[in-house]
Amino acid sequence: MKVSEARPSGRACRGELPLLTRGLPTQIFVNTALDQMNRFSREQAEAEFLKCCGSRNWAREMSEARPFASIDDLLAKAESVWSSLSEEDWLEAFRAHPKIGEKKAAAAQSDQARNWSVQEQSGTEDAAAETKAALAAGNQEYERRFGFIFIVCATGKSSGEMLAILNERLQNDPDTELRIAAEEQRKITRLRLEKLLNR
């Protein structure tokens, strides 16, 4: 189930269809992708799910929950499993992301997850030097304050917007911020699952 790297376009979450599915109606491809996910071995399914969320327990539970009757069924289960996980599971998922404005995550990423991270953070590519410096300083302050990296669903956001969100969230207490970060991860996971299935 490989969706090739998305080409620049006005649609933030769409990848290019694999060669074997080009020209087919989108719904046929989606059903085929979901069917393939349901047929994967446990190890294969976990590897696919880990591209979307770096928590191993989340990926394992999603693999074990198959087969899914529909994409909506899969997405609902993804959110249910995520909300049931421990704080350490959430932190593990956070570590699978590069810091905003950077390329490399603390934990290992698949090539596809790495490419998605670049696409999601594309709003920082043309940022002014002072904005990039402010993001880097804010990332450091955030990590010192909360003990994990700043997580935001960056798709469609400019560098200025992300910096403003970072500065605002630095005012939160640790418990509140952990919940906000987990909600941002939930949004990222959903977008990536939709990319994986080309919804």
Question: Which residues are known to be catalytic?
Answer: 97
| Residues 159 and 131 sit within 8 Å (Cβ to Cβ) | yes
Say which residues have a Cβ less than 8 Å from residue 69's Cβ, sequence separation at least 6: none
CA dist., res. 107 & res. 119, Å (int): 18
Of 178, 150, 147, 176, nearest to 165 (Cα)? 150
